[in-house]
Amino acid sequence: MKKDTCHMASDESVSWGNHKIEWSNDLLLHMEQEDGDHREMFVLMNRIFSAAQIGADMVTQAVADLCLFTREHFLREQHGMERAGYPDREAHRYDHEYLIFQLDVLIDRLMLSGPECVAEELVDLLKRWLCDHILTYDQAFAAYLHERGQKVA
């Protein structure tokens, strides 16, 4: 896997080399539930890379765990957007659905071809997830809540 970086708002970066994704405080939304979920996603993502050293079955399980947790996280986030009356919730929800669709496609390919055949696509998906989704969609939702003095339950 080649070394790649995801540039953050403060010009720090998340490293994709050495099969590990490092947490950056640039990803903090200052929302307890959201930040906790995002950190857990990092743990689950890194478990995928660790599992690659063990075998295809472990990678498949690690990806399935990430997908399940992600679905739960997205549902919590979408309920929070509804409760808050967030005006951009439909675009945010659509991006969630697109990310889940991409994960499902990767899982199907993983089952057919094995982890080595989807490794680069998985890294690209996780990079998009972190660089695009958290730093745009989630940051915008957090800013909306903070401006109004609201929080997600």
Gyration radius (Cα) of the chain, Å: 16
**What pTM was computed for the model?**
0.78
| Of the ranges 12-16, 86-90, 148-152, the best mean pLDDT one | 86-90
Torsion-angle region of 55 (φ positive above 0: left; ψ -120 to 50: alpha; else: beta) = left
Tell me the one-letter amino acid at 139. Q
Phi then psi for 42, rounded to 5 degrees? Answer: -60, -45
Q: In this structure, what token pair is assigned to residue 17?
A: 């080399």
Q: What is the pLDDT of residues 82-99, one digit of tens each?
A: 999 999 999 999 999 998
